Amino acid sequence: MCLPKAQGGLGFRKSMEINQALLAKWGWALLNENQWLCGQVLSAKYLRGNSFFNFSCKNSNSWFLKNVVRYREILKKGAYYVSVLFSLPEVVIPQRWTPPPEDWIKINCDVKVGCGSMCGVALARNHTSSILWVTTNKLNFEDLLIGEAGTCQFAMEKVVLLKYFFVN
């Protein structure tokens, strides 16, 4: 299977990733049990009313279920975003922001690219999640990575200017 197509194989180069994707597909069926007959059957057989994301495997569970649950993290990463489109029955909102320790500030930087321009924004929060300041800047770069580095640079310049000592 991993041989190039020219040598009679299927051309798979990363069989581990392919296996993960196929197992994640079965996890998707368990997550969307109401939309797919196979998902309903798998959920009734394996989960027995338990939540897919909170289910913990036992040693007595089948090889199939253990491996599907093992790769559910692949689904967790995108479940919040997909739930908006497909109205999933269960949504796990990923922790996107964790507060810094007391007396520290946390800087979040992002870049928007579009219509031939680039804009960077930096936001500072304290340990109570209160926004301390926001700064934006039009960037004259074409490369996104350089734009993000430029955004981080002007955020750190503001940190120095405002005399913050502990930055996360």
pLDDT tens, position by position, 65-97: 888 888 777 777 666 555 555 555 555 554 556
**pLDDT score of 95:** 52
Q: What number is the average pLDDT over the span 133-153?
A: 85
Q: Residue 90: its pLDDT value, please?
A: 54
Residue 151 contacts residue 119 (beta carbons within 8 Å): no
Rounded CA-CA distance 90/109 in Å is 30
Q: Yes or no: say if 34 and 47 are a contact pair by the CB < 8 Å rule.
A: no
DSSP code, position 125: E
pLDDT of residue 89: 55
Residue 78 confidence (pLDDT): 61
User: At residue 60, what is the residue type?
Assistant: S
What is the arithmetic mean of pLDDT over 31-53? 74
Q: Where are the domains of the chain?
A: 7-85, 106-162
pLDDT, mean of residues 15-39: 74
Please name which of 81, 53, 82 lies closest in space to residue 68, comparing C-alpha atoms: 53
Burial 129-144 (b: 16+ CB within 10 A, else e): eeeeeebebebebeee
